[in-house]
A and B are shown apart, each in its own frame.
Chain A
C-alpha cells in the first residue's frame, strides 16, 4: 500500500525544526516553535497539552491537513512539508486515518457508506469498497449496523464507525483527536480498549488530548506547551498496559 516498508532504524515519521506561524490581524503568532520529533512504526503516542499549547496545530501538520511554515517533515520516507494540495490529499487518503472528537461522520450516509468513502478517493471499485468497508465495520463490532445512519447509532457506535473508516484504507498512522471527548466514561473505556487492541495488532497510533488520564493509555507521552515539546517520556509496555487498565 504505502512505500517499501521502512527498516526499524528509519522512523515512520520524522519532524525536524517544525515551526508554524499564523498571522492574527497585525501580529504574527507562533503556534509551533521548532518541534523535533520522531515516531517509529507501531508506536502508541499521546500528544498532551492544554488548549492553545499547539498540540492541535502539530496534529494538523502530522495529519497533512496543514503545512508547516518552517522545518521538514518526512512521512514514510516522503517529504511532505512542501507538497501541493493534491499531493497532501493523496497522503491523507493513504497514510492517515483520522478519528475526531465529534466523530465527523457524513450524516446522510449509512455506516457502510461512511466507511466506504475514503476508498472512493482511492479509486477502489464499488464491489471491493463494499467488501472492505463491511469487513472494517465487522472488525469494530458493527457488522450488524451497516445500514444505520449516524443518527440511529449511539455515541460509542458512531466513534467505532469513525475508527472503521479511519482504518479501512490501512493507513500508516491512526490520528485520534480527543476521541473520547464526547463520550461517557464507560463508552470512553471501550474506545480506549479498542485503541489498545489496535496498537497490539500493529497499528501506529497518535492520540491528541488534554486529559492526562487518556494520555496514560499510550506508551509514550509527548507534552507540548507554548509550541514546543517540553517532555517526551516512554513507559514499559506492562506499565502502559497497567495504565490502560487503571
Chain B
C-alpha cells in the first residue's frame, strides 16, 4: 500500500515536472474523448427529445398502417388500409374509441396560396375525433367537425406557421386559401407544437375533412389510410391488438400462414424501438470515434518511451536503492494511466462543452445529454489505453540493468 501510494506520488511528480509535455502528449486523448462525448451527447439529446414528442401519442394509442412483407411484394401483391377496414374495426372491435382515419395527401409538397403568397405544406384528411390526448387542439376557431365530413366541406384547420408564411391575418378564420386548385375556408388555427428535433416544422400543416381529402385524392379505388385509435383500458392493449389483427386478416382475405399486410404499433413500442436504435447508433458512432483514442495511446507510448530513456539514470538510482522491477513497472505504468486518464477527463469536459455549444448554435439539436455509461465507458477505455500503451515503456524501464542505468549520461 505504501509502495502504491508512493508510486502514485512519484508518477504525479513526474507528470508535473513536464506539464507542457504532458499536455501535448494527452492532446490526442483529449480530442478523441471529446469527440466521443460530443457525438454521444448530441445523439442522446436528440433521442430524448424524440421520445418526449412520441409521448404525446399517449400510452394507449394504436396506429395501424399498411405494411407489405417483402415476400408478398415479390409476389406482386399490394397492401393498403382502406375505409372499409376502418368501418370493420369500428363495428367489430370492442373496447376502443376515437377510431379515426388519417389520409395523408401531401408531405410538405402541397402548394397553398393566399393572395399573392404561396407556400408548401403538408395536408391530411381526418375526422373530428383526431385531435387526441390534448396534443393538438384548435386555439382559434374549431377543428374538423362531423358535419364537415358528411358534407365534404372545403374547410381547413391550419398550423401557425402558415399564418406567418402566407401573411394571413392574425385571426384567419373565414379567410380563403387555395389548395389543390380549390378554395378552402380557414375554420381554425392549431396550437403551436414546435419542431420535431428542430428539423421538421410540425406547425406547417393543414387538416381538412377526411371525405374532402378522399375526393381530392382522385383515386378510383379506396385510398390507403392510416387508422388511429385509443384503447379504453391500457391493460387490454394486447387482446385488442389480437382482435384487430383477426378482423383485418379477414378483411384482407389472408390465408392462414400468410404474413400480415399491416402493422399495429403502439406509442410505447415506437418509443422503445427508437431509443434502442439511438443507443446502438451512439455505441457505433462512439466506437468509430473511439478509434482516435488509439492514436492518442500511441502518442502516450511515444512520450513514455522518450521519458524512460531520459530517466534511465534516475531508474538506475532507484534500483540501487532497492527498487524491484515491479516497483519501476508500477511507477511508469501508473504514469501512463494517469496521463491517459487526465486526457480522458479533460476530453470529457471539452466534449460536453462542445455538445452544449452545438446545441446552442444549431437549433436542430434539442439538448446534450451525457449518460453515465458513456462517462464510465470512456474513462475505462482511456485507462485501458494508458495501460496497454504504457506497458511497453514501463517494461523497458523495469528491465534496465542497474549498472548501465547508473552509468547512463
Chain A interface residues (CB < 8 Å from chain B): 60, 63, 65-66, 85-86, 89-90, 92-94, 98, 100, 104-109, 117-118, 120-126, 165
Given A65-B403, A123-B3, check contact A98 B322 (CB 8 Å): no
Complexed CA–CA distance, A225 and B14 (Å): 42
User: Contacts of A104 on B, CB cut-off 8 Å?
Assistant: 313, 316-317, 320, 406
B325 and A85 contacting across the interface, CB-CB below 8 Å = yes
Given A66-B403, A86-B325, A104-B313, check contact A124 B2 (CB 8 Å): yes
User: Contacts of B322 on A, CB cut-off 8 Å?
Assistant: 89-90, 92-94, 118, 121-122
What is the distance, in angstroms, from A62's C-beta to the closest C-beta of chain B?
13
- Chain B minimum-CB-distance residue to A165: B321
Residue from A100, A106, A108, A121 within 8 A of B406 (CB atoms) = A100
A121 and B13 contacting across the interface, CB-CB below 8 Å = no
Residue from B6, B17, B321, B403 within 8 A of A108 (CB atoms) = B17
User: Contacts of A92 on B, CB cut-off 8 Å?
Assistant: 319-322
What is the distance, in angstroms, from A196's C-beta to the closest C-beta of chain B?
24
B402 and A65 contacting across the interface, CB-CB below 8 Å = yes
**Between-chain CB contacts (< 8 Å), 7 pairs:** A65-B319, A89-B322, A90-B322, A92-B322, A104-B320, A118-B321, A121-B322
Chain B interface residues (CB < 8 Å from chain A): 2-3, 5-6, 13-14, 17, 313-314, 316-327, 402-403, 406
Question: Considering residues B314, B321, B403, which has the most beta carbons from chain A within 10 angstroms of its beta carbon?
Answer: B321
User: Contacts of B327 on A, CB cut-off 8 Å?
Assistant: 89, 121
What is the distance, in angstroms, from B395's C-beta to the closest C-beta of chain A?
13
User: Contacts of A124 on B, CB cut-off 8 Å?
Assistant: 2
What is the distance, in angstroms, from B292's C-beta to the closest C-beta of chain A?
32
User: Contacts of B14 on A, CB cut-off 8 Å?
Assistant: 108
What is the distance, in angstroms, from A56's C-beta to the closest C-beta of chain B?
9
Given A60-B403, A123-B3, check contact A106 B324 (CB 8 Å): no
User: Contacts of A107 on B, CB cut-off 8 Å?
Assistant: 314
A117 and B318 contacting across the interface, CB-CB below 8 Å = yes
Given A120-B2, A121-B3, A123-B2, check contact A85 B320 (CB 8 Å): no
What is the distance, in angstroms, from B214's C-beta to the closest C-beta of chain A?
84
User: Contacts of A125 on B, CB cut-off 8 Å?
Assistant: 2
What is the distance, in angstroms, from A29's C-beta to the closest C-beta of chain B?
15
A89 and B403 contacting across the interface, CB-CB below 8 Å = no
Complexed CA–CA distance, A66 and B404 (Å): 10
Given A60-B403, A66-B403, A108-B17, check contact A121 B324 (CB 8 Å): yes
Question: Considering residues A85, A100, A123, A124, which has the most beta carbons from chain B within 10 angstroms of its beta carbon?
Answer: A85
Residue from A63, A85, A126, A165 within 8 A of B324 (CB atoms) = A85
User: Contacts of A93 on B, CB cut-off 8 Å?
Assistant: 321-322
What is the distance, in angstroms, from A60's C-beta to the closest C-beta of chain B?
6
User: Contacts of A66 on B, CB cut-off 8 Å?
Assistant: 403
- Chain A minimum-CB-distance residue to B409: A102
User: Contacts of B406 on A, CB cut-off 8 Å?
Assistant: 65, 100, 104
What is the distance, in angstroms, from A19's C-beta to the closest C-beta of chain B?
17
Instruction: Using A63-B320, A89-B322, A124-B2 as known contacts, list a sample of 6 further A-B pairs with CB atoms less than 8 Å apart, ordered by residue number in A.
Output: A90-B324, A94-B322, A104-B320, A106-B314, A109-B13, A117-B318
Complexed CA–CA distance, A240 and B314 (Å): 36
| Closest 3 pairs between A and B when the two form their complex, measured CB to CB | A93-B322, A121-B322, A89-B324
What is the distance, in angstroms, from B309's C-beta to the closest C-beta of chain A?
16
A65 and B321 contacting across the interface, CB-CB below 8 Å = no
Given A65-B403, A85-B324, A121-B3, check contact A106 B317 (CB 8 Å): yes
User: Contacts of B325 on A, CB cut-off 8 Å?
Assistant: 85-86, 89
A120 and B17 contacting across the interface, CB-CB below 8 Å = no
Complexed CA–CA distance, A121 and B325 (Å): 11
A108 and B3 contacting across the interface, CB-CB below 8 Å = no
User: Contacts of B3 on A, CB cut-off 8 Å?
Assistant: 120-121, 123
Complexed CA–CA distance, A124 and B327 (Å): 15
Question: Considering residues A63, A86, A100, A108, which has the most beta carbons from chain B within 10 angstroms of its beta carbon?
Answer: A108
What is the distance, in angstroms, from A2's C-beta to the closest C-beta of chain B?
14
Complexed CA–CA distance, A66 and B316 (Å): 13
Complexed CA–CA distance, A120 and B327 (Å): 10
- Chain A minimum-CB-distance residue to B322: A93
Complexed CA–CA distance, A108 and B316 (Å): 15
B2 and A126 contacting across the interface, CB-CB below 8 Å = yes
User: Contacts of A121 on B, CB cut-off 8 Å?
Assistant: 3, 321-324, 327
- Chain A minimum-CB-distance residue to B325: A85
Question: Considering residues B3, B5, B320, B327, which has the most beta carbons from chain A within 10 angstroms of its beta carbon?
Answer: B320
User: Contacts of B6 on A, CB cut-off 8 Å?
Assistant: 120
What is the distance, in angstroms, from A24's C-beta to the closest C-beta of chain B?
14
- Chain B minimum-CB-distance residue to A85: B325
User: Contacts of A126 on B, CB cut-off 8 Å?
Assistant: 2, 5
- Chain A minimum-CB-distance residue to B323: A121
